[in-house]
């Protein structure tokens, strides 16, 4: 029997769809899953009639693959990934290539690349974005590892990836754990945008008294604009239209207001703090999820403090797309991307990833959850100035900020008056206002630190390190 071109381990929702994608693109495949009944279910269901066979165990799996083997693991990050690597390693031979497509912590990938490559196996840590539909139809993929390992799977990945006008949504990211680092930051940006859109829904509902259908129409209008046309705005429009089949009321209003965070958002913020990147909009979105999970405490506190006073505030007319609110959404979305890109640039320098920012923007333009028309502007900004210190000083983005800052400020002020939390909007306002302020009040922080701890300070008018006896 002819050997298969491609092997897939882990028949979760992503694995199932990725192997169907590979097969559709001409790569006969073999699949292995820990629980064999799931393999049978797949082969007798959506995998039926395809050039996909099943393996009962890992020995059988590797025997069914042509050499050098190309194997994609789609299992949970952490110990599950280590367990699979450990189990399969005994069967691998020189030049075989393992690809981890899960959401692994980039430092775990660094370790695995070093370990596996020391045994003459190839190892790629690859971020995959697009959910189930993207995995099937064409995801955005972020592979990192040695260049030669990437070259060995380039033709497979370029066929499987989403395609946009300037190419497939996959490229070699860089060495070691760089692919997983880029995917982590992608998810951090995703956290930010999801929270931003949720804040705008909350304001339209509670400050403007709009119902889900009316709010959905605004998202529909925003999705027609260059600044906001994106997958996340598109699905927000759809989510708000969905009705509960039981009683025909808005389904969104029946969903528990608790959001989980599985790791990548947290890792984005931890990495930012470690590398000294300022990511307040992304951090605010993570914290909003943490706060949302404290449901019982929030319910109790609302009894103690009373509900926010309901007031009507004008956030622009619905038929005009609520201009100030759109300003807030556009600038906060820009801030999420700017902060994520800033973090990537710092990581690139610190970890020698040599990331190519225009290419990262390009592979996010299709297939992935944060795909948007703004990414074309981001790509152009980094192409025209490779050493751009921050997206918001690119002329197109600067112009957006100048035009839209009063709208964002109005939205934050209205929200404060109404007692409605808008953590991403207010963090963005502070981020932009801080970034464009030449002199911040940290001179006083430095004075206090020198006063109580003799930490010394620099002066604006003289070179050197200074100490003062402040308490006399
Ligand atoms: P799940 O993580 O839900 O399922 C993983 C599959 O791996 C299961 O079928 C499980 O088998 C199998 N598995 C094997 Br093989 N060995 C395992 C072990 N030692 N421990 C645990 N499970 C083992 O799948 P998923 O949602 O497709 O996600 C796969 C990876 O892709 C994750 O890292 C995820 O974070 C990442 N990811 C997910 C998405 C998404 O939208 N879901 C998007 C992008 C990336 P079993 O049948 O025996 O339990």
Torsion sign, CA atoms 347, 425, 254, 238: negative
Q: Is the pLDDT of residue 118 over 90?
A: no
Q: Is the pLDDT of residue 310 over 80?
A: no
| 217 and 284 housed in the same domain | yes
For residues 352-380, average pLDDT: 98
Q: Is the pLDDT of residue 307 over 90?
A: no
**237: in domain:** yes
Nearest partner of 13 among 48, 36, 40, 46, judged by Cα? 46
**204: in domain:** yes
Q: Is the pLDDT of residue 262 over 80?
A: no
What pLDDT is attached to residue 117? 85
Contact 54, 39 (CB under 8 A): yes
Secondary structure of residue 164 in the 3-state scheme:
strand
**139: in domain:** yes
* CATH number of the domain residue 414 falls in: 1.10.1040.10
Choose, from 16, 190, 194, 199, the residue flagged as catalytic: 190
State how far the Cα of 147 lies from the Cα of 151, in Å rounded to an integer.
6
> Which percentage of the chain shows pLDDT scores above 90?
96
Contact 355, 182 (CB under 8 A): yes
Q: What are phi and psi of 6, to 5 degrees?
A: -145, 140
Interacting residues of 267 by C-beta distance below 8 A, sequence separation 6+:
105, 106, 184, 188
* pLDDT tens-place string over residues 266-280: 999 999 999 999 999
Q: How crowded is residue 110: how many other Cβ atoms within 10 Å of its Cβ? A: 19
State how far the Cα of 347 lies from the Cα of 355, in Å rounded to an integer.
9
Domain range for residue 456?
A: 440-472
Tell me which of 151, 176, 201 is where a domain ends.
176
When computed from its CA atoms, the radius of gyration of the chain, rounded to whole angstroms, is 25
| 461 and 320 housed in the same domain | no
Torsion sign, CA atoms 96, 107, 287, 337: negative
Which element (helix H / strand E) includes 98?
strand 97-100
| 429 and 447 housed in the same domain | no
Contact 191, 175 (CB under 8 A): no
Choose, from 16, 23, 110, 183, the residue flagged as catalytic: 183
CA-proximal residue: ligand 1, atom 34 (nearest):
102
| 293 and 315 housed in the same domain | yes
Contact 102, 46 (CB under 8 A): no
Total number of domains in the chain: 3
For residues 134-163, average pLDDT: 97
Tell me which of 130, 159, 176 is where a domain ends.
176
What pLDDT is attached to residue 311? 72
* pLDDT tens-place string over residues 58-87: 999 999 999 999 999 999 999 999 999 999
| 132 and 37 housed in the same domain | yes
What pLDDT is attached to residue 312? 78
For residues 117-123, average pLDDT: 89
Report DSSP state, residue 32.
E
CA angle 259, 137, 36 (to 5 degrees): 75
What pLDDT is attached to residue 235? 98
Tell me which of 176, 210, 227 is where a domain ends.
176
Contact 250, 211 (CB under 8 A): yes
* CATH number of the domain residue 470 falls in: 1.20.5.320
Q: How crowded is residue 118: how many other Cβ atoms within 10 Å of its Cβ? A: 8
What pLDDT is attached to residue 246? 97
State how far the Cα of 98 lies from the Cα of 89, in Å rounded to an integer.
9
Structure tokens, 170: 């996959």
* pLDDT tens-place string over residues 234-257: 999 999 999 999 999 999 999 999
| 329 and 460 housed in the same domain | no
| 167 and 188 housed in the same domain | no
Which element (helix H / strand E) includes 401?
helix 395-418
What pLDDT is attached to residue 120? 86
Give yes or no: 159 in active site: no
Confidence of residue 90 (pLDDT cuts 50, 70, 90): very high
What pLDDT is attached to residue 119? 86
Interacting residues of 349 by C-beta distance below 8 A, sequence separation 6+:
none
Contact 165, 205 (CB under 8 A): no
What pLDDT is attached to residue 250? 98
Q: Is the pLDDT of residue 286 over 80?
A: yes
Q: Is the pLDDT of residue 265 over 80?
A: yes
What pLDDT is attached to residue 216? 98
| 106 and 156 housed in the same domain | yes
Q: Which of 17, 21, 30, 34 to mutate to test the pocket of ligand 1 (most atoms within 8 A of CB)?
A: 34
* pLDDT tens-place string over residues 401-460: 999 999 999 999 999 999 999 999 999 999 999 999 999 999 999 999 999 999 999 999
Q: Which of 32, 75, 367 to mutate to test the pocket of ligand 1 (most atoms within 8 A of CB)?
A: 75
**1: in domain:** no
Q: What are phi and psi of 81, to 5 degrees?
A: -65, -45
State how far the Cα of 198 lies from the Cα of 312, in Å rounded to an integer.
19
Mean pLDDT across the chain: 96
pTM for the complete prediction? 0.96
* pLDDT tens-place string over residues 166-216: 999 999 999 999 999 999 999 999 999 999 999 999 999 999 999 999 999
State how far the Cα of 89 lies from the Cα of 84, in Å rounded to an integer.
8
* CATH number of the domain residue 167 falls in: 3.40.50.720
For residues 282-301, average pLDDT: 97
Interacting residues of 165 by C-beta distance below 8 A, sequence separation 6+:
none
Least confident segment among 35-44, 225-234, 261-270, 372-381: 261-270
Cα atoms found within 13 Å of the Cα of residue 443, Cβ hemisphere only: 7
| 79 and 39 housed in the same domain | yes
Q: Which atom of ligand 1 is nearest to the CA of 32?
A: 15
CA angle 370, 375, 379 (to 5 degrees): 140
| 411 and 466 housed in the same domain | no
| 123 and 203 housed in the same domain | no
Ligand 1 center to 85 CA (angstroms): 14
Q: Is the pLDDT of residue 138 over 90?
A: yes
Kindly report the length of the chain: 472
State how far the Cα of 178 lies from the Cα of 174, in Å rounded to an integer.
6
| 445 and 430 housed in the same domain | no
319 burial type by CB count under 10 A (0-12 exposed, 13-18 middle, 19+ buried): exposed
Ligand 1 center to 127 CA (angstroms): 14
Q: Which of 12, 35, 126 to mutate to test the pocket of ligand 1 (most atoms within 8 A of CB)?
A: 12
């Amino acid at each position: 029997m002819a050997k298969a071109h491609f092997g897939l381990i882990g028949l979760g929702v992503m694995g199932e769809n990725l192997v169907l994608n590979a097969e559709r693109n001409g790569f006969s495949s073999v699949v292995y899953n820990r629980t064999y009944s799931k393999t049978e279910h797949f082969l007798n269901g959506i995998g039926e009639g395809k050039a996909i066979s099943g393996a009962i165990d890992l020995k059988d799996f590797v025997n069914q693959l042509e050499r050098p083997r190309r194997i994609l693991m789609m299992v949970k990050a952490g110990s599950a990934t280590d367990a699979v690597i450990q189990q399969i390693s005994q069967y691998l031979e020189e030049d075989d290539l393992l690809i981890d497509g899960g959401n692994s912590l980039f430092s775990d990938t660094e370790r695995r690349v070093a370990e596996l490559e020391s045994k003459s196996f190839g190892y790629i840590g690859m971020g995959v974005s697009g959910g189930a539909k993207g995995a099937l139809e064409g995801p955005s993929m972020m592979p990192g590892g040695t260049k030669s390992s990437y070259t060995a799977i380039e033709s497979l990945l370029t066929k499987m990836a989403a395609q946009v006008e300037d190419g497939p949504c996959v490229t070699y990211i860089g060495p070691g754990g760089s692919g997983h680092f880029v995917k982590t930051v992608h998810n951090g940006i995703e956290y930010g945008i999801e929270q931003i859109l949720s804040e705008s829904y909350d304001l339209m509902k509670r400050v403007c008294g709009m119902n889900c259908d009316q709010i959905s129409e605004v998202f529909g209008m925003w999705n027609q604009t260059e600044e906001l046309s994106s997958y996340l705005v598109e699905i927000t429009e759809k989510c708000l239209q969905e009705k509960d089949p039981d009683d025909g009321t808005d389904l969104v209003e029946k969903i528990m207001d608790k959001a989980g965070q599985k790791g990548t958002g947290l890792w984005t913020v931890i990495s930012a703090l470690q590398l000294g990147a300022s990511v307040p909009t992304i951090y605010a979105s993570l914290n909003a999820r943490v706060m949302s999970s404290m449901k019982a405490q929030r319910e109790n506190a609302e009894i103690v403090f009373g509900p926010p006073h309901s007031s009507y505030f004008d956030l622009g007319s619905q038929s005009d797309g609520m201009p100030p609110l759109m300003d807030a959404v556009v600038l906060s979305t820009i801030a999420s991307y700017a902060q994520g890109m800033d973090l990537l640039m710092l990581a690139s320098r610190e970890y020698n990833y040599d990331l190519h920012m225009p290419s990262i923007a390009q592979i996010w333009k299709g297939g992935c959850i944060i795909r948007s028309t703004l990414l074309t502007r981001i790509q152009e900004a980094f192409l025209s100035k490779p050493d751009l210190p921050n997206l918001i000083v690119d002329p197109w983005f600067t112009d957006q900020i100048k035009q839209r800052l009063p709208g964002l400020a109005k939205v934050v002020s209205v929200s404060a008056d109404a007692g409605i939390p808008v953590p991403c909007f207010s963090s963005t306002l502070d981020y932009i206002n801080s970034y464009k302020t030449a002199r911040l009040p940290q001179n006083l922080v430095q004075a206090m630190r020198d006063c109580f701890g003799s930490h010394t300070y620099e002066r604006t008018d003289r070179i050197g390190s200074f100490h003062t006896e402040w308490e006399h």
